[in-house]
Structure 1
Amino acid sequence: MPANFGGLIIPLGFLAIFYFLIIRPQQKREKKTKNMRNSLKVGDKVVTIGGIHGSILKIKDDILTIEIGADKTKLTIAKWAVGNVLNDENS
């Protein structure tokens, strides 16, 4: 009986290592990003995934209106396009 399970130990070990080194950390990053995007509020300074810095003016469902630049240009972006929120220490 043990001889039948001997061939499964190495593949199961690789699956466990793969899970703990790759899948689990990715799930944690996705959860952190989702929480960050769900906690956005008017006035937050954000950086989009394209590198545009702006301040949130309006939030409606999954659409944000941000203000960028000295001329106060307004852009409408999707919430998923926010890459980072800048707080007072980072700005």
Structure 2
Amino acid sequence: MEGSAIAQFIPLILIFAIMYFLLIRPQQKKIKEHQKMVESLRRGDQVVTQGGLIGKVVKVKENNELDVEIAEGVKVRVVQSTVAQVLSKTEPAKAES
């Protein structure tokens, strides 16, 4: 009887394993990549927000906020995690030798 009880749980275990590798693991990887991208934002980067605004990062503030210039003289305050994509990165400042 014990063998048949274990055999009944094998399909359930297989379904969970498939769900993990097809859904959970890729989602965790995507979240990590997004966090890394958001943490590396700096002044001069051109970004797209989740709301569809395209602009240039003017200032990285505390409390996970950014000032983004969406038109000449028009700045908006954006929560850092709402940045969906970085279109162009600025080059880091060269260290003088």
Q: Give ranges in structure 2 of 5+ residues lacking alignment.
A: 90-97
Paired-residue identity, %:
38
Shift of 1:80: 1.2
Does residue 54 of the first structure (1) align with residue 55 of the second (2)? yes
Look up the match of 1:66: 68
TM-score, normalisation: structure 2: 0.84
TM-score (norm 1): 0.90
How far residue 68 of structure 1 moved from its aligned partner, in angstroms, is 1.1
**One-letter amino acid of the structure 1 residue matched with residue 68 of structure 2:** I
* Alignment partner, residue 31 of structure 1: 32
Q: Whole-Å Cα distance in 2 between the matches of residues 80 and 50 of structure 1? A: 12
Matched residue pairs, number? 87
- State the distance in 2 between where 1:53 and 1:60 align: 18
Q: CA RMSD in A?
A: 1.1
What SS does the corresponding residue of 1:33 show, helix, strand or coil?
helix
CA distance in 2, matches of 1:54, 1:5: 57
Matched residue type, 1:78: V
Q: Could you tell me how far 1:45 is from its partner in structure 2?
A: 0.3
SS state at 1:34 partner: helix
Write the distance in 1 (CA, Å) between the matches of 2:73 and 2:55. Answer: 9
Match of 2:85 in 1: 84
Name stretches of at least 5 consecutive residues in structure 1 with no aligned partner. Answer: none
Q: CA deviation at 1:87?
A: 2.0
Letter in 2 for 1:38: E
